[in-house]
Amino acid sequence: MITRLDMARMEHLFGSRTRAALLAKLFEEPGESYYLRELSKELELAFSAVHREMENLERLGLVLEERRGRERFFCVNRGSPVARELRRVFICVRVRK
């Protein structure tokens, strides 16, 4: 688990508490897909902020969207070299403590 201090550093690095929290969660289990409301509730973040950041991360190619009926699920784009390197950053922060 990432400490509060490390998370604060990640928030500063990524420019957004929401973005840092989403990336930390997604990189924790890169094979999992998450529903937006599930992420919002679990991370205690506003749904609108989660929605906006996931759209940004998708545009950047870091996450992929999967539609299941009317629901949208997101997961790490494991084919993205940038996503792989960012995951290493989060792993280093988590292991370093």
Question: Is the pLDDT confidence value at 50 over 70?
Answer: yes
Question: Is the pLDDT confidence value at 11 over 90?
Answer: no
Residue 64 phi/psi, 5° resolution? -115, 145
pLDDT of residue 1: 61
The domain locations on the chain are: 4-96
pLDDT of residue 15: 80
Beta strands in 24-87 (DSSP E): 34-35, 63-68, 71-76
Assign domain 4-96 to its CATH architecture: Orthogonal Bundle (1.10)
* Contacts for 11-18: CB closer than 8 Å, 24+ residues apart: 16/53, 17/45, 18/45, 18/46, 18/49, 18/50, 18/52, 18/53
For the whole model, what pTM was predicted? 0.83
Point out which residues pair with 66 in neighbouring strands: 73
Residue 35 near residue 72, CB atoms below 8 Å: yes
pLDDT of residue 2: 66
